[in-house]
Structure formats: C-alpha cells, structure tokens
Structure 1
Amino acid sequence: MPKRRYGNERFTFERTAGFETKLMHSAPVNALVVAKTSELAGRMVKAAPRGPHVYTDEFSIKKNITPYVEEVGDEWVGYIVIEENERARHAMLQEEGYRDPAGHRHAGRFFFKKVLEQERID
C-alpha cells in the first residue's frame, strides 16, 4: 500500500497514484530545486562572516558552504553542506556561540538562522 500524506474518509492523496510522481521526478523540478538550493547557498555565503585568513581561504566559512541536489526516492532534494572540510570547524561555533578555554562565553551570531528565517513562509 502506498504511503499517504494526508486524507480523510472520502479522499486520500497518494503520490504514486498519477501525475504527481512523474512531475516531482521531472527535469523541470530538478532545475527548480537546483536553482533554489544554489540561491539559498548564495545567501548563506553572503551572510557568513569573513575570516581573518591571510594566507589561505581553505578554512574560511564562505569557502566551505556547498549546495548539493540528489534524488531521494521519487523526489529531488536540495542540501546545503556547511564546512565539509573536517579541519574547518568554526562556523557552527560562531552560529550558536561557545565558551572558550578560559571560561568566557561568546555569543552566537546566528547568520545562518537569519537567512533561513527570511526564507520561511508563514
């Protein structure tokens, strides 16, 4: 039995029942997901702070934000990966805040959260 998203006793929406499955798996939907994911990643790059990296940008937050789109089941899903480089681990510390070794609290900057809140649909 196919998975149901919502329904009541008279009507049940089933994605595998018709055109919805073909539509969600089509090339135009893929192009739309790629465009929106890239656009969101661009906004996150713009909002991310510049690092004091004099010699290399390998560890800067802006250089380590990457959009990915992959096929999950019958749909295209967009992901944004922040700091895929395992040696650059400071973006989420700046986002949420942290306590340094001396015990001082550093407040979070919430730059990713602000970008996601701007994209939210109420």
Structure 2
Amino acid sequence: MARRVAKPGQARGKQYARFTKGGFTFETDQGFETTLLHSGEVRALVAAKTSELAGKMIKAAPRGPHRFTDEFSIKKNITPYVEQVGTEWVGYVVIEENERARHAMLQERGYRDPAGHRHKGRFFFKRVLESERVE
C-alpha cells in the first residue's frame, strides 16, 4: 500500500490544536493569537487594568475648589471604558467628558491666567502613567 506524501508547498489541510483550559479550539491557519485576543477573558483583563489605571488617576487628581457641588471637578470626570478596535480590545481613560468641567490638562501642564501670571503644572497624570510603564 503506497502512502501519499505531501509535496513542498502543497497544503495538508486544516490542522486543529486543542487548548485544555477553557475548551478553546484553535485553527492553526488563523493563528491562536487572533482567537485568544477576541475572547471575553482578554476583554475582562483589559477592563480590569483600565479601571485600575483610572482609579489611580482619580486618586492623584486634585480636588476642585467647588463649594456646593463636585459636578465639575476633575475627579468626577475621569471614566474608563473598553472597546474593540480592529482585532484587539483597547482600554481608554477619558478625562473631562463634561465640557463644563475645569480643564484638567491646564492643571497638568500649567497655564497663564488672564492677568499674565504663569501657573506651573502639577503633572499628576504623567506621574501615574510613568509609574504604570513596563520596561
């Protein structure tokens, strides 16, 4: 009985590999990374890390001088959210969705007031991002 051997460059057909934890079936043609990055576990991980980063930014942000309400303070206007962009889950930390809030980036980088006085920046967001950097 003659055995058929695939020639170089000839496809052998689809091959499957089974991942034992979680019951994923990966097609090697597609690449397991694509299937894994679309999974709900990766989304949950990205959401957890994004909300952890947003929590650190909220903690580092200055309190506003608002006497009656904190509706427009920086701390109340930092929100995390996750969305799928192309083939990946991406986490965002949005600062100041409320257009009436005072400007967090002016507090961050500094500004010049109408009288011409320079106010130096506090760099609280930069410190949080630098502490989370992976080297």
TM-score by length of 1: 0.85
Query: Are 1:73 and 2:86 an aligned pair?
Result: yes
Q: Secondary structure at the match of 2:122?
A: coil
2:58 to 20, 34, 45: 45
Whether contact under 8 Å (2:73, 2:102) holds in the other structure is no
Note the alpha carbon deviations across 1:18-53, whole angstroms, 9 max, x for none. Answer: 100011110110000000000000000000001111
More helix by share: 1
RMSD after superposition: 1.1
Q: Which amino acid aligns with 1:88?
A: A
Distance in 1 between residues matched to 2:30 and 2:116, nearest whole Å: 58
Number of matched residues?
107
Q: Which amino acid aligns with 2:120?
A: A
Distance in 2 between residues matched to 1:99 and 1:61, nearest whole Å: 19
Aligned to 1:96: 109
Calculate percent identity across the aligned residue pairs. Answer: 80
| Bigger Rg over Cα | 2
Aligned to 2:125: 112
Q: Which amino acid aligns with 2:58?
A: V
Aligned to 1:27: 40
Distance in 2 between residues matched to 1:72 and 1:22, nearest whole Å: 15
Q: Secondary structure at the match of 1:70?
A: strand
2:76 to 51, 55, 63: 63
How far did 1:70 drift? 0.3
Distance in 1 between residues matched to 2:134 and 2:49, nearest whole Å: 14
Whether contact under 8 Å (2:50, 2:81) holds in the other structure is yes
Q: Which amino acid aligns with 1:111?
A: F
TM-score by length of 2: 0.77
How far did 1:17 drift? 3.7
Distance in 2 between residues matched to 1:90 and 1:18, nearest whole Å: 44
How far did 1:89 drift? 3.5
